[in-house]
Amino acid sequence: MTAPLTTPTGGEGPVPVPEHGAALLDVADLRVHYPVPRGKLRAVDGVSFHVGAGETLGLIGESGSGKSTVARAVLGLAPLTTGEVHLRGVRLDQLSRRELRRQRRHVQMIFQDPHEALDPRMDVWSAIAEPLRIHGVRSRTERDRRVADLLERVGLRLEHGERRPHELSGGQKQRVSIARALTLGPALLICDEAVSALDVSIQADILNLLVDLQRERSLAYLFISHDLAVVAHVADRVGVMYLGRLAEVGPADDVVARPRHPYTEALLSAEPQALPRRLRERQRIVLEGDLPSPVDPPSGCRFRTRCRYAAERCATEEPQLREVGPHRWSACHFAETLDLRGQEQGTTWLGGEHGRTATTTVTRPAATS
């Protein structure tokens, strides 16, 4: 078992971390609806999941699927219509603003655009130290020690601390964002498209850093992305979202190899392949039409208007997310009978069993006991 994670001295004391795999984040029947002139926009419409200590849960889906709204709702940045969010046994959605602020030190977020996430008027050193000051670390010496340690750990030099965001590359800015997120010793990091704005080679470097930090600190990740190849190479489990709901949940390797929902199959077919065209066994599944409006979703199955397997039952009966195999869940009436095509290892741009690129390798941490 990895060492327990603690916060810097001067705050509220050490933060005990649950045993690896124990429940850390529990989300139950989460709904985020926004009033609009024609009714209500169902950004998230009944999503439930959990993240264990030291685990990575990946959420994937198209733009508009609701995955980023889930992240904001967990942090209290989006108002819940109904549902419950429990972090370390504490129900976050019923806390006062002051109490929620105290709990947020246990869960931090890494955003898609590191430039937008950093104050252009602050140098890197001040940006990383700011959460420590806000949460009661009064000793300047302690803050400086912590910032220096974090800069080194995320692969930056001390002189980077004197620079402002516009003087850094995209990868360096994201490393600063990661360091800032780690200052208070969180147990959970929410990565919202954390590498999608970076070049492919830099993506692999940042993914490697996140994996290493998870090993060292027993971190749990809620990893949100539109890129199934990235998520599948870093996540233990994957949840596929479509139009505000979960379409499929399962172990990452299993979901990629044998999808249990037609939407997942379509996402996999759209992933770039590192093979000559003549060697590619699968054909891309082109989804007809646009994502339906969350204001007026289709009756029955929400995916039926774009699904090539849709039957009459799909229009009249809404499929529920149900267990269709060991640790496999699907919201498809025909999950057990459809012969859906997955993806062989080593055929995406990340390639290889452990996500090999031309410059580096992304490896998933093994479970500890």
Report the percent of the chain where pLDDT is more than 70. 83
CATH of the domain at 78: 3.40.50.300
293 assigned to some structural domain: no
Q: Is residue 108 in a domain?
A: yes
Mean pLDDT computed over 80-93: 93
Amino acid at 231: V
| pLDDT value of residue 35 | 95
Residues 259-310 have pLDDT tens digits of 999 999 999 887 655 444 443 445 667 677 778 899 999 999 999 999 999 9
Q: How many CB atoms lie within 10 A of CB 326?
A: 8
Mean pLDDT, to the nearest integer, of 246-264? Answer: 94
| Residue 157 located in a structural domain | yes
User: Is 255 part of a structural domain of the chain?
Assistant: yes
Using the CB atoms, write b or e for 221-244: b if 16+ within 10 Å: bbbbbbbbbbbbbbbbbbbbbbbb
- Span 92-136, pLDDT tens digits: 988 988 888 888 889 999 988 888 888 889 999 999 999 988 887
Tell me the residue range of the domain where 77 lies: 25-260
Position 307 in a domain: no
Domain-located, residue 291: no
Number of domains composing the chain: 1
Closest CA to 75 of 93, 48, 57: 93
Q: Does 46 reside within a domain?
A: yes
- Indicate the pTM of the whole model: 0.83
Q: Is residue 15 in a domain?
A: no
